[in-house]
Structure 1
């Protein structure tokens, strides 16, 4: 309520991080939920498995090479259709792809080098370090209150980003294996993958979500991946405009969406870092405000109304209601192709996002 009244999200977040008792209870509950519920009920729709699958497709099975080739073709086509000028063009920071230029040979060489070492992965809001069991990753899990010892304590929102390390790959790997707990700062351009699994909706403010995405861009190497997973149990197109809005906001930082999927209870997106410079044009558009969630629009009156006494269903009524929901159609869709996995109906993204500045 105090956030709604004064909008002091820094103060709210600081007080939240200081409430260690509640945070510890939350961490234990999340681990139990993952171990005892998600592992059993999310067969075929595991968010961790999806992240691993996207990383393998991108880094090991030619996904990155194909994306770079597409960038190169687009740039070549643009150069042919743009009239020649006497003044040479200097890419601005705002240009979406100022660093597309890896040749096919260079891209394949870089991909081969990646295959020799592990993929450096930062799992933000890790809780119980689910990526640690996968051999292809050198994983760093961070959380404000870790549920297991292998996760570092870190407030990502206030993490300090330092200058990139000028070291060989094996030296960078050694650096990551010797991190001190808690983590207050990290060098930029350190990771191949940054994971935001059920993270962004945890923050009370769109601006905080924007800051997280900006930090992720700074921490990723060029052509690294940002994986964003956010909860949503509604049908396919219910949040289409919100997801389009998120896509525009995140891409404005210097990303390009590589993959999109919709599971029964979540949206899953993979973004590729396409520019070394982290752009932050907040003049032409309110990009931070575009990272909204439905809860952002809840009013104080709604909160007060929700606290009033309400009818409580019996266990039998709950079972009947749950059985009724089992009869609903379920047609998840995958990737940017726009095709449903179990339906011929295309998924259309709306062109105009919701802008909070109206």
Structure 2
């Protein structure tokens, strides 16, 4: 049974999200976001509440379809190992090459299958074992962790991490508003080295959006962040998107397909999708040939007048189709149900996940 502190912290998180969304409806998303990022007291309390919830109250792990127990951090690490060290990247290089050749000869393929069925061990992943595979001679993977909060990847040999957040828990996380940060030729920092002012284009092997897109109050802002991830990744680099959802795998299948459609138009191929108990886990690869990635979207027979496909520059979540004002005014109307709230904090990147 939830304690009073447990309920108080969860309600603060829920209220913060709902308030941001309500202000986006009332004043526009840009104004709402500007107001949000200057509320330093709210951001600090939000980060502290998230840490408390994750490390004290919701420590359960997820289980995938193969009964492999792992948290979202371990899932990301395992997939990076498989892609960069176990031949995954070369596999998709060849697949893209084959599709490009077929396209150049006007070959029409009925379906492009981009899910990777990797062989995994039926036991808990030993993250340290995987990390120790890398020695000092191995080039580290450049990883950008957006909305990092704690920098869970910072102690692993395989990554050179840039961890950013509006308000990080420790000095290992740089202050950065990813939605509005500049992209240029190199990383630029504030004088005190606590904030990042510009991120370097085409420089990262991995970008991580873990429970990040849902934080943003409007579909256009989510798209902007996905476009920035595309610009920051090297060709053949990968974007992880972890999104909370406690419902069964097909409940929000239309939304997941719309995400794939929008990112395909951007130049991403979805190479992995897995539904864990409380989250959707997706990997998108920045294609060597943008036409190969967008080809999947172009082959889709889209439903007429479906709001999910009225534009290719919007990323929707279920909350976009709810009445935010009634959620704020009525205690019985919650932005997330209990399981969804548990999943969000259960998957946060803190010690003990």
TM over 0.5: yes
> Is residue 306 of structure 1 aligned with residue 330 of structure 2?
yes
TM-superposed deviation, 1:308: 6.9
How far off its partner does 1:229 sit?
Answer: 0.4
Cα separation, 1, equivalents of 2:243 and 2:289 = 26
Are residues 1:58 and 2:80 paired?
Answer: no
* CA distance 1:200–1:298, change in 2 (3 Å): same
- Matches of 2:23 and 2:179 in 1, distance apart? 20
State the Cα deviation string for residues 92-132 of structure 1 (Å, max 9, x = none).
xxxx9xxxxxxxxxxxxxxx9x9821001000000000111
Distance in 2, Cα, partners of 1:268 & 1:24 = 28
Is 1:23 matched with 2:47?
no
Q: Which has the greater radius of gyration?
A: 1
**What CA RMSD, in Å, does the superposition of the two structures yield over aligned residues?**
3.4
Q: What is the alpha-carbon distance in structure 2 between the residues aligned to residue 9 and residue 141 of structure 1? A: 25
Offset of 1:246 from its aligned partner? 0.8
- 1:5 is aligned to 26
Match of 1:151 in 2: 173
Q: CA deviation at 1:184?
A: 1.2
Report deviation, 1:286. 0.4
Task: Name the structure 2 match of 1:74.
Answer: 99
- Give the deviation of 1:275 after TM superposition: 4.4
Task: String of CA shifts for 1:144-202, please: whole Å, max 9, x gaps.
Answer: 00111100000000110013x6xxxxxx9xx99x9932111112011100000000000
- What TM-score does the superposition give when structure 1 sets the normalisation length? 0.68
Q: Secondary structure at the match of 2:31?
A: helix
Residue 218 of structure 2 is matched in structure 1 by 205
- Aligned partner of 1:325 in structure 2 is none
Cα distance in structure 2, aligned partners of 1:3 and 1:142: 23
The within-5 A match list for 1:102-113 is: none
Q: After the TM superposition, which residues 136-285 of structure 1 pair with which residues of structure 2 at under 5 Å, given as runs?
A: 136-163=158-185, 180-275=193-288
Given the superposition, is the C-alpha separation of residues 211 and 56 from structure 1 closer, same or farther in structure 2, using an over 3 Å criterion? same
Aligned residues: 270
Q: Structure 2: which 5+ residue stretches go unaligned? A: 1-21, 64-68, 113-133, 298-308, 340-353
Q: Is the 8 A contact 1:127 1:151 kept in 2?
A: yes
Q: 1:295 aligns with which of 294, 299, 319?
A: 319
1:301 and 1:38 map into 2 onto residues whose CA distance is 28
- What is the TM-score with the length of structure 2 in the denominator? 0.69
* CA distance 1:152–1:76, shift in 2 (3 Å): same
Displacement of 1:215 after TM fit?
A: 0.5
Question: Contact 1:45–1:263 (CA<8 Å) still a contact in 2?
Answer: no
